[in-house]
């Protein structure tokens, strides 16, 4: 007998219902009850799906409206003290205020959930934080609802140590573990309440067990789980994303079972663990990849599990490596994907079915000759044999590229002299990151064109008009290096992917990035090849409108890869190099057509950094190499910019400097310019454009504040190296906010230039 279960489901609904419902709530079109209604509907759908496929345990508690970390804090009563909310009275309005800020408070900080593209809200650990009087009913009501329908339920929560670890120390709290006693007690209250609902299995997610932990954290684990043992509830400890570590600790914990992500573990490692893991305890094997969208080779997985099913018998559980939060919900909603490629894919719903069949087989309910398993084998083999994913031209280019070095021809100092003379730039040159407001009209225009409701010429004219307005505005504002505003782009990855071979697109494959923000990652299924120029015409047109330089605007290789689903039949490194070669051709094309300044955005550069320390160097080296392949080998006069969103650059500056971009624009408002200290410490030599206002907020920055911030910059970095720009692109802002903010930015900059 083998038990099947899942770790968690996507939360946005099949048609992003949650996103629209929450946004309607923000716009006051929905009230709290309307939102609750949608909440319940989606939970029910997710549960039904699991029940439909006979999954042994229905997972409850994985659902939330904005973020699972903020939810956990709210349920425990451990919300940031600075909001001054009485946790008992938290309602959705206040919940969203913590995520988005209110009159008196900045929003909670957001950061990446391990190595995924999901962003969670960072807990704020102050000395006087309480884990009391939580909003327990948010979870308990959900449990009650599920219990009224289904028999076997497993509740999931984030573990106390992961929660503690991921938070940020605030005020004079010296060590997060000073809060240990409090958090244990808080969780114990919650666990008791869950138990009272008749639940006897609880999934506690502690992904930090895959990190190298300091001794004090290992001791804390022992303490926590010893205490939880007293509640007398079966604990399935869940780990994911990385190789399991801390074996000896885990072995000794008084828990019911452990879940391991075997997709991101090598078998040798797992073997070692299983040698010490008793067959009297549950072992849950995450054998279905929860992070990508490729069909599972069922027979291969079954063979891998056979031996385990003999050793663990009833104690073997089958699951996905991690929550399905990171993949789209249902492949059945896709109508545009090439038919052949569609057969290679599997989204959350299809993966639940895979779990069912594997576990059915292990239960001896079905044979290998089963029709589903047979069909699965055929599509796996077809993919291997297909010509769709291979391209001889790419293979040839790849061989040539590998040997060269791709360094700029002369030093930054020389390049800078030539560039500044040529473009006649002032000190503190002003620029923008790329996008202008993506209004409803622009979105609609692209929609009409995509759906063939307007013809190409008509569309092109309208886009050109938009660009004209953007350029005129920037001239009026007196900016120095202009952008065209990206009205033709729906998304910085999709736009390029659509014009390259090797990419496929879903029509509804949404994945939550944070809160209500969802992305539709492209699927890289084959060799990447650039059949035609991508941005040449638009860039040429934009440049023809002004005497000031207009930046060519490209998305960097790492970002293209990181924000897509990548191939499972080739090393990511090769895919990244293929992407860089395509970009390289684009850069040459722009240069040939008179574009002098080219920006290659790499917001995902830091995001791609592996969790494992020993893998980081390798990654960084490849990432730098890719950037250099794209634009390293180019004349001194061409100024290369790169842009990165919020990243704590501490240890990676060495590599960023090897990228040797002439200018790097970065998001700094969230760190209040502190990030610049690292650049100083490192003696970073090239130019920097630290963002001088936060584009995530509708607030218009006032002149005095901007002046203060700029002053802060040249206290740290030589003023001759500073550029003035916002934190990031302006696509999420409206026009009024944009114009007023930019006006203030330019005035502030002029004040600085005069008074230096």
| Pick 43 or 583: Cβ nearer Zn ion | 583
Rg value, the chain, Cα = 27
Q: Is 666 in the site for Zn ion (CB under 5 A)?
A: no
Q: Copy the structure tokens of residue 151.
A: 């028999």
Determine if residue 433 is labeled as part of a ligand binding site: yes
The size of the chain, in residues, is 756
Among 728, 745, 748, 749, contact with ligand GLN (rule: CB under 6 A): 728
Catalytic residues: 696
Question: Is residue 481 within the footprint of ligand GLN (CB under 6 A)?
Answer: no
Q: Taking CB under 5 A as the criterion, which residues in 603-632 touch Zn ion?
A: 603
Name the one residue in this structure whose structure tokens are 């007398």. Answer: 232
Q: Cα–Cα distance between 561 and 547 in angstroms, integer? A: 35
From the list ligand GLN, Zn ion, none, partner contacted by residue 488 (C-beta under 5 to 8 A by kind): none
Work out which of 553, 598, 659, 664 binds ligand GLN, going by CB under 6 A: 553
Residue with smaller CB distance to ligand GLN, 283 or 554: 554
Please tell me the distance from the alpha carbon of residue 740 to that of residue 725, in angstroms, as a whole number.
14
Residue 729 near ligand GLN by CB under 6 A: yes
Enter the DSSP assignment of 690.
E
What would the two tokens of residue 54 be? 């006979």
Cβ atoms of 35 and 21 within 8 Å: the answer is yes
Q: Which residues of 587-609 are buried (b: 16+ CB within 10 A; e: fewer)?
A: bebbbeeebbbbbbbbbbbbbbb
Asked if 601 touches ligand GLN (CB under 6 A), the answer is yes
- Encoded tokens for 60: 């409850």
Q: Could you give the CA distance from residue 77 to residue 133 in angstroms, rounded to a whole number?
A: 5
Sign of CA dihedral 673, 678, 680, 683: negative
b/e burial code for range 358-367 (CB count within 10 A of at least 16 → b): bbbbbeeebe
Pick 156 or 435: Cβ nearer ligand GLN: 435
# of chain residues touching ligand GLN (CB under 6 A)? 12
> Residue 492: which of ligand GLN, Zn ion, none does it interact with, CB under 5 to 8 A by kind?
ligand GLN
Q: What is the nearest approach in angstroms of Zn ion to the Cβ of residue 610?
A: 22
Taking the C-alpha atoms of residue 438 and residue 435, their distance in angstroms, rounded to an integer, is: 8
435 binds, among ligand GLN, Zn ion, none (CB under 5 to 8 A by kind): ligand GLN
Torsion of the alpha carbons at 575, 590, 484 and 553, rounded to the nearest 10: 20
Q: Which 702-741 positions form the footprint of Zn ion (CB under 5 A)? A: 728
Could you identify the residue written with the tokens 């900080």? 109
Instruction: Mark the segment that binds Zn ion (CB under 5 A) among 99-107, 249-257, 421-429, 645-653.
Output: 645-653
Pick 156 or 555: Cβ nearer ligand GLN: 555
Interacting residue with ligand GLN among 21, 201, 362, 492 (CB under 6 A): 492
Residue 286 annotated as binding site: no
Among 11, 464, 596, 731, binds ligand GLN (CB under 6 A): 731
Choose between 515 and 603: whose C-beta lies nearer to ligand GLN: 603
Q: What does the block give as tokens for 530?
A: 């650039």
Q: Does 645 interact with Zn ion (rule: CB under 5 A)?
A: yes
Q: Which of residues 425-444 bind ligand GLN (CB under 6 A)?
A: 433-435
| Residue 729: CB minimum distance to ligand GLN, A | 2
Q: If binding is defined by CB under 6 A, does position 521 make contact with ligand GLN?
A: no
Distance CA 280, CA 243 (A): 23
Strand 501-504 and strand 257-261: pairing? unpaired
**Which C-beta is closer to ligand GLN: that of 295 or that of 670?**
670
The residues that touch Zn ion, with contacts defined as CB under 5 A, are: 603, 645, 728
Binding-site residues for L-homocysteine, please?
433-435, 601
The residues that touch ligand GLN, with contacts defined as CB under 6 A, are: 433-435, 492, 553, 601, 603, 643, 645, 728-729, 731
């Amino acid at each position: 007998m083998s038990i099947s279960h899942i770790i968690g489901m996507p939360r946005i609904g099949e048609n992003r219902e949650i996103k629209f419902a929450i946004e309607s709530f923000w716009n006051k079109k929905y009230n709290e009850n309307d939102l609750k209604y949608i909440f319940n509907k989606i939970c029910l759908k997710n549960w039904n799906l699991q029940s439909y496929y006979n999954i042994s345990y229905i997972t409850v508690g994985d659902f939330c409206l904005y973020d699972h970390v903020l939810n956990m804090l709210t349920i425990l009563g451990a919300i940031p003290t600075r909001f001054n909310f009485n946790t008992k009275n938290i309602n959705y309005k206040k919940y969203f205020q913590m995520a988005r800020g209110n009159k008196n408070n900045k929003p909670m900080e957001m950061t990446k959930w391990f190595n995924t593209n999901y962003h969670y809200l960072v807990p704020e650990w102050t000395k006087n934080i309480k884990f009391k009087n939580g909003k327990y009913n948010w979870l308990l009501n959900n449990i009650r609802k599920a219990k009224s329908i289904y028999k076997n339920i497993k509740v999931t929560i984030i573990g106390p140590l992961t929660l503690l670890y991921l938070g940020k120390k605030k005020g004079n709290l010296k060590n997060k573990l000073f809060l240990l006693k409090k958090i244990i007690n808080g969780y114990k209250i919650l666990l008791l309440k869950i138990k009272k609902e008749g639940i006897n299995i609880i999934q506690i997610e502690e992904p930090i067990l895959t990190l190298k932990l300091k001794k004090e954290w290992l001791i804390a684990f022992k303490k926590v789980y010893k205490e939880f043992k007293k509640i007398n509830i079966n604990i399935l400890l869940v780990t994911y994303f990385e190789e399991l570590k801390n074996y000896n600790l885990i072995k000794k914990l008084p828990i019911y079972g452990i879940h391991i992500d075997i997709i991101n573990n090598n078998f040798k490692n797992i073997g070692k663990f299983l040698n010490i893991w008793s067959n009297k305890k549950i072992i849950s094997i995450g054998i279905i990849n929860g992070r990508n969208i490729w069909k599972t080779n069922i027979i291969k997985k079954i063979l891998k599990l056979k031996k385990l099913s003999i050793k663990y018998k009833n104690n073997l559980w089958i699951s996905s490596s991690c929550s399905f939060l990171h993949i789209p919900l249902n492949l059945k909603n896709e109508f545009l994907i090439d038919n052949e490629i569609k057969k290679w894919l599997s989204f959350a719903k299809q993966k639940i079915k895979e779990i069912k069949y594997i576990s059915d087989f292990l239960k001896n309910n079905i044979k290998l000759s089963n029709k589903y398993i047979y069909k699965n084998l055929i599509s796996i083999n077809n993919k291997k044999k297909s010509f769709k994913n291979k391209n001889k031209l790419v293979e040839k280019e790849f061989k040539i590229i590998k040997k060269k070095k791709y360094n700029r021809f002369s030093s930054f100092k020389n390049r800078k002299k030539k560039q500044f003379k040529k473009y006649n730039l002032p000190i503190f040159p002003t620029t923008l990151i790329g996008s202008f407001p993506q209004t409803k009209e622009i979105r609609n225009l692209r929609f009409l064109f995509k759906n063939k409701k307007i013809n190409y010429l008509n569309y092109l004219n309208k886009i050109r008009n938009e660009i004209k307005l953007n350029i005129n505005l920037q001239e009026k504002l007196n900016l120095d290096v202009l952008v065209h505003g990206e009205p033709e782009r729906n998304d910085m990855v999709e736009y390029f992917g659509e014009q390259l071979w090797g990419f496929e697109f879903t029509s509804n494959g949404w994945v939550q990035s944070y809160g209500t923000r969802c992305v539709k990652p492209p699927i890289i299924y084959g060799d990447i090849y650039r059949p035609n120029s991508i941005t040449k015409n638009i860039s040429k047109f934009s440049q023809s409108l002004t005497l000031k330089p207009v930046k060519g605007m490209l998305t960097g290789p790492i970002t293209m890869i990181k924000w897509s689903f990548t191939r499972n039949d080739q090393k990511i490194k090769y895919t990244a190099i293929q992407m860089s070669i395509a970009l390289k051709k684009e850069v040459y094309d722009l240069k040939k057509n008179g574009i002098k300044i080219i920006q290659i955005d790499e917001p995902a550069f830091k995001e791609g950094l592996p969790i494992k320390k020993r893998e980081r160097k390798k990654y960084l080296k490849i990432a730098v190499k890719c950037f250099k392949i794209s634009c390293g080998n180019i004349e001194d006069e061409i100024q290369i910019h790169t842009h990165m969103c919020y990243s704590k650059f501490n240890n990676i500056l060495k590599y960023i400097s090897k990228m040797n971009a002439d200018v790097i624009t970065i998001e700094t408002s969230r760190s209040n310019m502190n990030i610049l200290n690292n650049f100083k410490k490192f003696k970073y030599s090239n130019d920097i454009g630290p963002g001088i206002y936060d584009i995530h907020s509708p607030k218009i920055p006032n002149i005095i504040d901007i002046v203060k911030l700029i002053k802060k910059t040249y206290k740290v970095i030589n003023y001759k190296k500073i550029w003035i720009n916002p934190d990031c692109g302006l696509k999420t802002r409206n026009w009024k906010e944009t114009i007023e903010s930019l006006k203030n930015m330019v005035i502030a900059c002029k004040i600085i230039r005069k008074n230096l």
